[in-house]
Chain A
Amino acid sequence: MAMIEVRGLRKSYAALEVLKDINFSVDKGEVVVVLGPSGSGKSTMLRCINLLEEFQGGEIRIDGEAIGYREDAHGVRHWCKERDNAKLREQVGMVFQSFNLFPHRTVLQNVMMGPLKVQRRARAEIEPIARELLGKVGLLDKADQYPARLSGGQQQRVGIARALAMQPKVMLFDEVTSALDPELVGEVLRVIRRLAQEGMTMIIVTHEIHFARDVADRIIFMDGGLIVEQDAPATLLSNPKSDRLKLFLRRYQGDYLAD
């Protein structure tokens, strides 16, 4: 049973076509890692799945339900009401490259923001859950700090806890370690790996190929707004079929003169 299904996804900014016919699906509990060079459309694709971007063609289904657009009797697509789209975003957690924590709220308040302001649940009911999540990402002692006092790695772990607090069906990770110092990357990846082991359905956009090999059930390689290859990590990374992926992997392995 596919938890996320993307069919014929197309997206352009004015004349620039950034996603050209993207097709894939993610099963419940599956971890899919998306690799690809900058500008290949990975982040845009994630943002479409969370309806942070409108798209011009195709269909995205979360847990069987088509999201973002409805077709009228004449087959014309209409962007759904903000209320409905917001409802759907609740089911899809997203973690950002630049953390995007709310700087005017403490760590605990950041984590409780969604349940409190969107789900309108009682504070007494939520706070233990929020603290438990902070414990899970190893930051319970930072609950009352403001984000500015935290390191990048800590901020990103709060970002993960904040997204998890909504109890999403799916988690999307958008280059969540790209803005971190190398020695802070590990603490964030460990949290993500644990989520994977617990059976969370995830799409992870990253440049950490070793992590991808370790955590992914499947890797999707994107380039130029298309999915070029997708396969199990071992197969895809050891036997790349396309020239584009071969070149990408050579560059990644430090052959910076490859072209």
Chain B
Amino acid sequence: MNILISNLPYLLKGAMITLALAGVIVTVGNLLGLLLGAVSALVGRLGQSLITLYIFVLRGIPVLVIMLLGYYMFPALGYRVPAYVAVATAHIVYVSAFVAEIVRSAINSVPTGQIAAARSLGMRRFGILREVLLPQATRIAIPPLLNNSLTAIKQTSYVSVVGVWELTYAAREVVERTLASFQIFLGVMAIYFLICYPLSLFARWCERRTTVIQ
């Protein structure tokens, strides 16, 4: 226990990096996914197929592989990019595919009568999306989106594999130094939990709120 306490400041420094990394991945990943999902409701069949392809390809690849690919892609293309940027980009692309699929299916789950009613009032595609589809789809999509964001936060621990320093990497360093693997990883578990728990609570709160309105 003492070993954990004495190494806690170091681990918390790692946790800050994890938080920052997760913050960027979750924010940009969700925005990009939302954009892709919304666009797929606006564009014609070709655009939809392209977005579907994007979703299906990424869904079929382990996040670790995508991350390794992202990490080695930039040098292979002749670009020098900081490791943080490379792995964050890979995670963002991965997360956005899941977000796009959640948003797309939420929009599709709004009854077609809603679209007919909006069209009969003279509304057009963009207006229908903004005023009718998105507000209703959001309610449907919020619980799975938050769930997806939680997964995205936890997946940041994979970046330690390619030597990007964050909480999990810091923990492995401490373990190598102290050999107190069980204690340290118990502490790391607690830190990850404390990062994710507020979001879990928020997800529950959103869910309760949306059920009341319906």
Contacts and interface: CB of A to CB of B under 8 A. Distances in A.
Interface of A: 47, 50, 52, 82-83, 86-87, 89-90, 92-94, 96, 98, 100-104, 113-114, 117-119, 146, 148, 159, 162-163, 166
Contact of A89 (B120, B135, B139): B120
A102 B117 contact: yes
Interface string B112-133: 0110111111111101000110
Interface residues of B, number: 21
Given A103-B136, A104-B136, A148-B214, A96 B122 contact: no
Most chain-A Cβ atoms within 10 A of its Cβ — which of B111, B121, B122? Answer: B121
Nearest to B125: A82
Contacts of B122: 86-87, 89-90, 114, 118-119, 166
A103 B214 contact: yes
Interface string B36-55: 00000000000000000000
A50 B120 contact: yes
A93 B136 contact: no
Q: Is the interface of B mostly helix, strand, loop or mixed?
A: helix
A51 to B, nearest CB: 8
B213 interface: yes
Contacts of B117: 94, 96, 100-102, 159, 162
A82 B124 contact: yes
A96 B113 contact: yes
A98 B113 contact: yes
A162 B158 CA distance: 53
Given A113-B131, A117-B131, A146-B213, A100 B123 contact: no
22 contacts: A82-B124, A86-B123, A89-B119, A89-B120, A89-B122, A93-B120, A94-B116, A94-B117, A96-B113, A96-B117, A98-B111, A98-B113, A100-B114, A100-B116, A100-B117, A113-B118, A114-B122, A114-B123, A117-B121, A117-B127, A117-B131, A163-B120
A118 B131 CA distance: 11
A191 B8 CA distance: 72
Most chain-A Cβ atoms within 10 A of its Cβ — which of B111, B119, B125, B127? Answer: B119
B73 to A, nearest CB: 40
